[in-house]
Amino acid sequence: MTATLPQPEHDLPRTVKGASCSCSHCGQPVPLGLIVAGQEQQFCCQGCASVYELIHSCGLDAYYRLREQSEAAAQAVPATDGDRLAVFDADKFHELYVRSREDGARLVDLMLEGVHCAACVWLIEKLPRVVPGVLEARLSLRQATVRITWDPANAKLSQIAKALSTLGYSPHPARGSRDTVQLAEQRTMLIRMGVAGALAGNTMLLAFALYTGLFSSMEQQFTQLFRWTSAVLGVIALAWPGRVFFQGAWAALRTRSPHLDVPIALALGVGGVVGLVNVILSRGEIYFDSLTVLVFLLLVGRFIQYRQQRRADESVGLLFSLTPTHCRRVVASEDGSIEQVPAEAVQVNDLLQVHAGELIPADGTVEEGNASVIASLLTGESAPVPIQPGDGVCAGSQLASSTIRLRVSAVGEATRVGRLMELVQRGVADKPQIVALTDRIAGWFVVTVSTIALGVFAAWSLFDLSAAVDHTVALLIIACPCALGLATPLTLAVMIGRSARNDILIKSGAVLDRLAKPGRILMDKTGTMTRGAMRVEQWVGDGSVRPLVVEAERHATHPIALAIVEQYEDEQTVAADDIHAIQVLPNGVKAQTSLGLLYIGSRACMEQSSCMVPGVFLEQADRWAEQACTTVFVSLGARVVAALAVGDAIRSDVRHSIAQLRDWGWQIEMLTGDEQAVAEQVAKAVGLERSALHAGVSPEQKLNAFKERSDGMPLVMVGDGVNDAAALAAADVGIAVSGGAEASMAAADVYLAKPGLTGLVELIARARSCRAVVKQNLALSLTYNAIAISLAAAGLVTPLVAAVLMPLSSATVLALAMKGRRLPTFQQRQYEGPQR
Amino acid sequence: MSILFIVLPLAFVLAGIGVWAFMWAVKSGQYDDMDTPPYRAMFDDD
């Protein structure tokens, strides 16, 4: 709403004569100046008024009633999407995102910003009433994605997008969501779990009858009937839903890597075969009840973990949708008019127009316009680089000021970013698989259990061969690490879910395992340790001219000017009389003020305008240059009265976070593409030694840093840029931080969706507590196994004992896994210093 | 008591129908979105 109307004055009262007056659409207070007397509906801004008008005219007032019921905050700010939505009609857009149905209707998935409650679902699904021609709109609340079916003869997609935008839900083509492959995987897992559940339930009913028959005698024919049916159900359970464990075990054996599936498959296999033989020979014990329940519980654990991981993965995928997908192409033939096209449709030799603040969509040469670009995501260098006609620019860098036209020289995979992405792909392929703690234990678990089983078999076969077989099978089944196989995924799922609520998106549970033990963390500088943007570090000299400086710099678009305005935004404003004739120079700003002629700019600017620079300021400028800061001079009446240092500011939490990580035993190093001088200053400020510093590193070298690792310590990469993406992919654990490039988010295992390094500390704290819970579970389930194995070795385990012991152990371990929820939260522990 | 020989298979046929219905529900996408449908049920039809 701020974009459509000027902000209300601050000193206006927010209520009218005691009665509060809130906006009929968004519920925020209505400024006095905008209250219309004698009208029931009041609006805080024109935007809200037009949304209300639209909703009301379509007869959708029930939205407000629903919203009250769901007690959600209102979606106040209508999006200002402007001409961006024109791209929704481009041919290429339709080719990429739109599908056709047989009856001619079209389908598209759009990701919406600002969807949060039941009222949103209701309003969005009433879209057919707002835009005639829309046949159906179905919203998925969790994914914030709407599937729209419309009739192309009656409505254009841009009209639909416009309507959504007006309602306050800014639409984007949904990329990376509703992946059909993953959806199919989730369905398969769900079916497997459901079938296993049904089989387990029925087998248990039969087992109940059999166990009851143990105590009172049952007729032979019924015992046989029940044994045979159990066997049929059990074999189905092992061969259909249980197949995944055998497949997993087989894959693990072939690659000779330990995996928890191996002991599970061993127990399931031996139990199944012997049970079947016993049923056929009408003798001995069967274990199908325990086996089917085992399969079911293990599948439940895995499904829950899968869903939590998918959730994190999806959230990252949906963030991709928010990155711009369109650009402005100058139409070649005619009057130089501009059309909106999807970024994928750009071709070599196209002429593109890029505005300040936008990402450059392709590699190319500047044809028109002087501007500066920030290539920090690409190179790690935080200072903007000036460009002029004839200079080359790379896709993925951001235009900091003014507008340029560029002739495209490379698109897609041929761009520098595209080539970097190839490295990322290779990095992912080279990445060593993380062997989870439980899987490593599973390795010697198999060996130990098999050895004991052989021993028990040998000892018992001295007395009685059939008893030896029975006791050995009982031992193998009861030694199945099911408690562990169930508890570990659940512990991880609980952790991943809790982390996601705290804006830490973990794409794989194995990461938590890897981060529990200290290793080396390599951190990118720009955007990770620093904000990745300019900031005023210091102001020396006369402070009273600050309001004038801010007012003058408001007219410039240079990143330094933006930084100055942002920093001193709260300064008193100056009257229009005090300053006028503001003029932007190539390296500064000039203005007429009541105190004399004002110049703000670099040293060159001062010299050109023959301003006197006192020696103190020159010395100060030299000192700042050593600290890698740019100096901006302020001159009033041909004499410099103040100077500012502008640089890329270090995030406030970095020093504390690094100290905390070091307390936990991590080695921290800095890896940056920026110059040595800049890097050293940052390193000093955050408390890193020079030896932990690697400056001037290219993306390719970053990748090599990971290939050359020798020690077995986990190597963690933290970064945000495209230049980090290959390293993120190759690291044992890649962590992308907020505000980063799409490529780095895709390559990383973890995405910290909040700025700064606090998220990293929190992530590692979680990993540590997760490890503690897993270890507890491990100890418990191994104790259980030791007892159970001793009982089995002594020949005391009957199927009934097994049927009671196994769920008992699972329940205990599950309770512990859930207890992870009640561990002290990170916020309480944060300042306690070193632990353990 | 030999009625069991008829009732037991019958019970499994019923259970089988249940499992088949579940699989059909999953395959037709009814479990894909677990968050939105509960809200949809609250809305009045108009």
pLDDT at A380: 63
Is residue A564 within 8 A of residue A633, CB to CB? The reply is: no
For chain A, give the percent of residues with pLDDT over 70: 86
Kindly state the helix (H) or strand (E) to which residue A648 belongs, with its residue range: strand A640-650
pLDDT at A740: 67
Mean pLDDT of A411-419: 75
- Please write the tens of the pLDDT for every residue from A283-320: 878 889 889 988 998 898 888 888 877 777 777 766 66
For the cut 70, the answer to whether the pLDDT of residue A827 exceeds it is no
Name the pLDDT band for A18 (thresholds 50, 70, 90). Answer: very low
* Tokens 């990748």, residue located: A703
Is residue A373 within 8 A of residue A398, CB to CB? The reply is: yes
CB contact under 8 A, B12 and A191: no
Residue A444 sits at the chain B interface (C-beta within 8 Å): no
Which chain B residues are Cβ-neighbours of A187 within 8 angstroms?
Answer: 26-27, 29, 31-32
B1 Cβ contact list (under 8 Å, min separation 6): A219, A222
Which chain B residues are Cβ-neighbours of A122 within 8 angstroms?
Answer: 39, 43
Could you give phi then psi for residue A161, rounded to 5 degrees?
A: -60, -40
* Tokens 């404003």, residue located: A573
pLDDT at A745: 76
For the cut 80, the answer to whether the pLDDT of residue A448 exceeds it is yes
CB contact under 8 A, B40 and A190: no
pLDDT at A317: 67
- Please write the tens of the pLDDT for every residue from A455-487: 988 998 888 888 888 888 888 888 777 777 777
Alpha carbon distance A663, A672 (integer Å):
24
Partner B, chain A 59-98, Cβ-Cβ below 8 Å? 62, 66
Amino acid type, A174: A
- Please write the tens of the pLDDT for every residue from A526-585: 778 887 777 787 888 888 888 888 888 877 766 677 778 777 877 766 766 677 777 777
pLDDT at A52: 82
Beta bridge partners of A584: A589
Residue A118 sits at the chain B interface (C-beta within 8 Å): yes
A179: closest chain B residue by CA: B32
- Locate A488 and state its tokens: 């570990």
pLDDT at A435: 61
CB contact under 8 A, A142 and B35: yes
For chain A, how are helix, strand and coil distributed in percent, rounded to 5? Answer: 50, 20, 30
Q: Please state the length of chain A.
A: 836
Alpha carbon distance A12, A18 (integer Å):
14
For the cut 80, the answer to whether the pLDDT of residue A677 exceeds it is no
Average pLDDT, chain A: 79
For the cut 60, the answer to whether the pLDDT of residue A83 exceeds it is yes
Is residue A25 within 8 A of residue A52, CB to CB? The reply is: yes
Alpha carbon distance A210, A213 (integer Å):
5
SS3 A717: strand
Mean pLDDT of A719-726: 77
CB contact under 8 A, B39 and A183: no
CB contact under 8 A, A195 and B23: yes
Q: Which one of A142, A198, A225 has the shortest CB-CB distance to B5? A: A225
Residue A129 sits at the chain B interface (C-beta within 8 Å): no
pLDDT at A320: 64
Q: Using N-to-C axis directions, what is the helix angle for A180-215 and A220-239, rounded to 10°?
A: 160
Q: Please state the length of chain B.
A: 46
Residue A744's Cβ-side half-sphere holds a number of Cα atoms within 13 Å equal to 30
- Please write the tens of the pLDDT for every residue from A659-670: 999 999 999 988
Is residue A238 within 8 A of residue A295, CB to CB? The reply is: yes
Q: Which of A429, A514, A433 is nearest to A747 (CA)?
A: A429
- Locate A666 and state its tokens: 């991590």
Which chain A residues are Cβ-neighbours of B2 within 8 angstroms?
Answer: 221
CB contact under 8 A, A195 and B19: yes
SS3 A635: strand
Q: Which of A705, A709, A700, A658 is nearest to A683 (CA)?
A: A658
Q: Which one of A139, A190, A194 has the shortest CB-CB distance to B36? A: A139
- Please write the tens of the pLDDT for every residue from A36-78: 777 778 887 777 777 788 888 888 887 887 777 665 555 554 4
pLDDT at A16: 40
Tens-binned pLDDT, residue by residue, of chain B (46 aa): 678 889 888 999 999 999 999 999 999 988 888 778 888 877 766 5
Which chain A residues are Cβ-neighbours of B19 within 8 angstroms?
Answer: 194-195, 198
Amino acid type, A548: L
- Locate A479 and state its tokens: 């030694």
Which chain A residues are Cβ-neighbours of B44 within 8 angstroms?
Answer: 62
Minimum mean pLDDT range among A18-22, A359-363, A828-832, B14-18 = A828-832
- Locate A485 and state its tokens: 């196989």
Residue A194 sits at the chain B interface (C-beta within 8 Å): yes
- In this structure, the strands spanning A715-719 and A733-737 are parallel
Is residue A468 within 8 A of residue A769, CB to CB? The reply is: no
CA A130 to mean position of chain CA atoms: 34
Mean pLDDT of A607-635: 82
pLDDT at A621: 84
A48 Cβ contact list (under 8 Å, min separation 6): A1, A23, A24, A25, A26, A76, A78
Alpha carbon distance A534, A650 (integer Å):
10
For chain A, give the percent of residues with pLDDT over 90: 10
Is residue A287 within 8 A of residue A275, CB to CB? The reply is: yes
Could you give phi then psi for residue A462, rounded to 5 degrees?
A: -65, -35
DSSP string, A339-392: EEEEGGG--TT-EEEE-TTPBP-SEEEEEE--EEEE-HHHH---S-EEE-TT-E
Partner A, chain B 1-46, Cβ-Cβ below 8 Å? 1-2, 4-5, 8, 12, 15, 18-19, 22-23, 26-27, 29, 31-36, 39-40, 42-44, 46
Q: What angle do CA A132, A135, A137 make, to 5 degrees?
A: 105
A567 Cβ contact list (under 8 Å, min separation 6): A535, A536
- Please write the tens of the pLDDT for every residue from A221-278: 888 888 999 999 999 999 999 999 999 999 988 988 878 888 889 889 988 998 999 8
- Locate A834 and state its tokens: 């070193």
The nearest CA of chain B is from the CA of A276 a distance in Å of 20
* Tokens 């190839």, residue located: A422
Q: Which of A691, A688, A718 is nearest to A706 (CA)?
A: A718
Which chain B residues are Cβ-neighbours of A198 within 8 angstroms?
Answer: 15, 18-19, 22
Which class for A806: exposed (0-12), middle (13-18), buried (19 or more C-beta within 10 A)?
buried
DSSP string, A272-328: HHHHHHHHHTT-S---HHHHHHHHHHHHHHHHHHHHHHHHHHHHHHHHHHHS--EEE
pLDDT at A500: 83
Which chain A residues are Cβ-neighbours of B8 within 8 angstroms?
Answer: 225, 229
A208 Cβ contact list (under 8 Å, min separation 6): none
SS3 A85: helix
CB contact under 8 A, A125 and B40: yes
Alpha carbon distance A331, A179 (integer Å):
35
Beta bridge partners of A521: A668, A716
Question: What is the b/e burial string over A138-164, where b = at least 16 CB atoms within 10 angstroms of the residue's CB?
Answer: bbbbebbbbebbbeeeebebbbbbbbb
B30 Cβ contact list (under 8 Å, min separation 6): none
Which chain A residues are Cβ-neighbours of B15 within 8 angstroms?
Answer: 198, 202
Residue with the larger pLDDT of the pair A438 and A365: A365
